[in-house]
């Protein structure tokens, strides 16, 4: 059976889990010896656990096995071998592995955390179950759970590296090279295990690099995949570029997923990225739960606008197409600030950037044209005749798309329409400015932490140009009518959230044993961002659903 998961498709599937990641107590044991005296018990080696239960060794390369000791204060001897206090790799009976050897053990930063480096012995077509063993200074031996190791050339039916009911995306870089840059691609291969409910992907060449702004600074990294050739992935249209969103800060793992579902209900948005939740295994290490999503790109099956050439500098040719991003990070090579409108974070002015044409291909004439078009549209919007259906703002913008785009942000309580951040618009040749596509709905979505005004009012009532647009009674009436038209569909989203919870439950268990979303407070003055980071997965989903239902009640009272 094959299935394609799209935001506009309803699905439900059973979830199973066969691998687990133990949790540990990381505190020294204090023993009271006298009412006035507390003596700390000496650290002793109690147990050893591993993060990965399965590894793939690339040909001629290495794989990293992350492990922890229960008492982080124990002075672990990091020598490799069989000497007193050392770490070794064995088979179940204590003999040496035939295909795999341990080459190095080193500390991994946090107390009690270590990394073991595994290397094949020259044969890349093998499968072998190995055990990490540590001999304590007292002479006792502690053994970690089994780790299934395969060579990348192993020809038998592939074993699932992690089984949560989600498809597994497996990326191996050449020589096991780390992916630690947003600018430099690392070559490798990717394959996908479809686990029976999705289309898999046979091994194919790829390049991978980091991506994101704030999200790249967090421990769980997001990535950009560029395939060697265009491929269908999970039934979505062929393309080379795909994004793996980490959703590090999202305790529900579904803010982006649900937002794309809502966006897919908007018939006036030209395109909404398709997406599927997956498990990511990178160089043999399970990295946790990710969202594989179509990257925002100009393409016939994505942002379908006219592709320009450097010769398109005059007449109708210079009018499009253009893909614009409004983002306070100002990280686009071609960017400027238009003084009109309202930007909640920076005051007056809106940051515009050109995503397409590419910065190395766009010409000065094209830059001047699109800047001039935005300026003319804004001048008209804030001019005296802005309500005029022929001479006003409607001459420059696709009103229906701007209404649908606003509804998605408002229903989801995403304040970044007003920051703005990851806000997109596009303009085709000879056409008007169109809002969309939707992208990046993890920070503050459906949360009163970042948008307390959402309890009783609108989040984006005056965002960018909308404050002025809503001064036109015709626009406001159209906005209200469209919201009421969409309301029956929007009211189905809580049921969709229930389906997402069932699908993601096992994945969440593994993911949050590895990653702590409350660390996002480091980017927000020491305060957690969404407000559910310290909740259980179930409670976080219940909170998300409750706030969503409240949004549907509050919004109509303010239109």
Q: Which one is predicted more confidently, 304 or 94?
A: 304
Q: 487 in helix, strand or coil?
A: helix
In this prediction, residue 158 carries a pLDDT of: 60
Write the pLDDT tens digit of every residue in 253-289.
999 999 999 999 999 999 999 999 999 999 999 999 9
> Cis before residue 213, ω within 30 degrees of 0?
no
| Buried residues in 380-395 as b, exposed as e (16+ CB within 10 A) | bbeeeebbeeeebbbe
Is a pLDDT exceeding 70 seen at residue 344?
no
How many Å is the Cα radius of gyration of the chain?
Answer: 27
Write the pLDDT tens digit of every residue in 2-33.
443 444 333 333 333 333 333 333 333 333 33
Residues 6+ apart with CB under 8 A from 24: 49, 68, 70, 112
Q: What is the mean pLDDT of the chain?
A: 88
Strand locations in 415-507, DSSP E?
423-427, 433-435
Give the lowest-confidence range in 2-6, 334-338, 469-473.
2-6
Topology classification of domain 39-151 = Immunoglobulin-like (2.60.40)
Is a pLDDT exceeding 80 seen at residue 129?
yes
C-alpha torsion sign, points 73, 79, 85, 86: positive
Contact 24, 171 (CB under 8 A): no
CA neighbor of 513 nearest in space, from 541, 537, 531? 537
Is a pLDDT exceeding 60 seen at residue 528?
yes
Q: Which one is predicted more confidently, 397 or 157?
A: 397
In this prediction, residue 178 carries a pLDDT of: 94
Domain with CATH 2.60.40.10 in the chain: 39-151
Write the pLDDT tens digit of every residue in 208-250.
999 998 899 999 999 999 999 999 999 999 999 999 999 999 9
Is a pLDDT exceeding 70 seen at residue 510?
yes
Helices (H), 123-281: 255-264
Q: 9 in helix, strand or coil?
A: coil
In this prediction, residue 9 carries a pLDDT of: 35
* pLDDT average, residue stretch 531-538: 97
Q: Which one is predicted more confidently, 322 or 24?
A: 322
In the numeric block, which tokens belong to residue 510? 């593994």
CA neighbor of 559 nearest in space, from 462, 472, 479? 479
Q: Which one is predicted more confidently, 263 or 49?
A: 263
CA neighbor of 97 nearest in space, from 125, 66, 120? 120
What are the backbone angles phi and psi of residue 439, rounded to the nearest 5°? -160, 145
Cross-strand pairs, 193 = 168
Share of the chain above pLDDT 70, in %: 90
- How do strand 322-326 and strand 423-427 relate by DSSP bridges? antiparallel
pLDDT band at 39 (very low <50, low <70, confident <90, very high): very low
pLDDT band at 483 (very low <50, low <70, confident <90, very high): very high
* pLDDT average, residue stretch 410-421: 95
In this prediction, residue 333 carries a pLDDT of: 92
In this prediction, residue 24 carries a pLDDT of: 32
In this prediction, residue 3 carries a pLDDT of: 40
What are the backbone angles phi and psi of residue 245, rounded to the nearest 5°? -80, 130
pLDDT band at 42 (very low <50, low <70, confident <90, very high): low
Is a pLDDT exceeding 70 seen at residue 69?
yes
Give the lowest-confidence range in 44-53, 438-447, 541-550.
44-53
In this prediction, residue 110 carries a pLDDT of: 82
The residue whose two tokens read 């919201």 is 483
User: Which DSSP string do the residues of 282-347 spell out, in sequence order?
Assistant: ETTEEEEEEEEEE---BSTTSB--PPP-TT--SGGGGG--EEEEE-TT--SSSEEEEEEEEETTTE
CA distance 523 to 533: 14
């Amino acid at each position: 059976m094959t299935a394609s998961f799209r935001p506009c498709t309803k699905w439900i599937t059973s979830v199973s889990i066969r691998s687990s990641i133990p949790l540990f107590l990381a505190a020294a044991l204090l023993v009271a010896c006298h009412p006035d005296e507390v003596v700390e018990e000496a650290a002793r080696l109690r147990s050893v656990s591993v993060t990965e239960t399965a590894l793939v060794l690339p040909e001629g390369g290495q794989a990293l096995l992350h492990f922890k000791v229960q008492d982080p204060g124990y002075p672990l001897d990091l020598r490799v071998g069989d000497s007193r206090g050392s770490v070794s790799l064995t088979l179940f009976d204590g003999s040496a592995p035939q295909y795999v050897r341990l080459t190095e053990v080193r500390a991994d930063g946090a107390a009690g955390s270590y990394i073991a480096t595994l290397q094949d012995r020259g044969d890349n077509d093998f499968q072998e179950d190995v055990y990490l063993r540590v001999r304590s200074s007292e002479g006792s031996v502690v053994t970690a759970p089994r780790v299934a190791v395969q060579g990348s050339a192993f020809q038998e039916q592939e074993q699932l590296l992690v089984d949560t009911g989600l498809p597994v995306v497996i990326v191996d870089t050449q020589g096991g090279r780390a992916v630690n840059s947003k600018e430099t691609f690392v070559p490798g291969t990717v394959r996908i295990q479809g686990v029976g409910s999705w289309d898999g992907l046979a091994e194919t060449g790829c390049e991978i690099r980091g991506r994101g702004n704030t999200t790249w600074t967090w421990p769980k990294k997001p990535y950009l995949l560029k395939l060697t050739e265009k491929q269908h992935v999970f039934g979505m249209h062929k393309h080379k570029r795909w994004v793996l969103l980490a959703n590090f800060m999202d305790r529900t793992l579904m803010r982006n997923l649900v937002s794309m579902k809502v966006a897919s209900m908007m018939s006036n948005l030209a395109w909404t990225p398709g997406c599927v939740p997956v498990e990511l295994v990178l160089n043999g290490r399970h990295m946790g739960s990710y969202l594989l999503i179509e990257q925002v790109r100009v393409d016939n099956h994505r942002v379908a606008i006219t592709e320009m050439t450097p010769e398109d500098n005059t007449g109708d040719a210079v009018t499009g197409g253009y893909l614009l991003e409004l983002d306070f990070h100002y990280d686009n090579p071609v960017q400027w600030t238009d003084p009109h409108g309202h930007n909640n974070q920076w005051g007056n002015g809106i940051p515009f950037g050109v995503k397409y044409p590419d910065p190395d291909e766009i010409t000065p004439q094209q830059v001047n044209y699109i800047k001039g078009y935005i300026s003319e549209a804004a001048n008209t919007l804030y001019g005296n005749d802005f309500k005029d259906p022929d001479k006003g703002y409607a001459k420059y913008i696709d009103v229906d798309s701007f209404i649908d785009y606003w509804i998605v942000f408002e229903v989801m309580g995403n304040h970044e329409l007003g920051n703005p951040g990851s806000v997109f618009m596009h303009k085709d040749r000879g056409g008007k400015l169109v809002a969309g596509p939707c992208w990046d709905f993890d920070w503050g979505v459906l949360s009163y932490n970042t948008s307390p005004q959402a309890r009783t009012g609108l989040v984006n009532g005056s965002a960018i140009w909308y404050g002025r647009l809503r001064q036109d009674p015709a626009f406001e009436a159209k906005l209200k009518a469209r919201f009421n038209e969409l309301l029956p569909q929007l009211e189905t989203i809580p049921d969709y959230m229930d389906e997402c919870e069932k699908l993601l439950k096992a994945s969440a268990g593994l993911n949050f044993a590895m990653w702590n979303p409350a660390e996002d407070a480091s980017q927000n003055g020491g305060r957690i961002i969404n407000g559910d980071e310290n909740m259980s997965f179930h409670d976080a989903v219940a909170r998300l659903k409750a706030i969503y239902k409240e949004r549907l009640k509050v919004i109509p009272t303010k239109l």
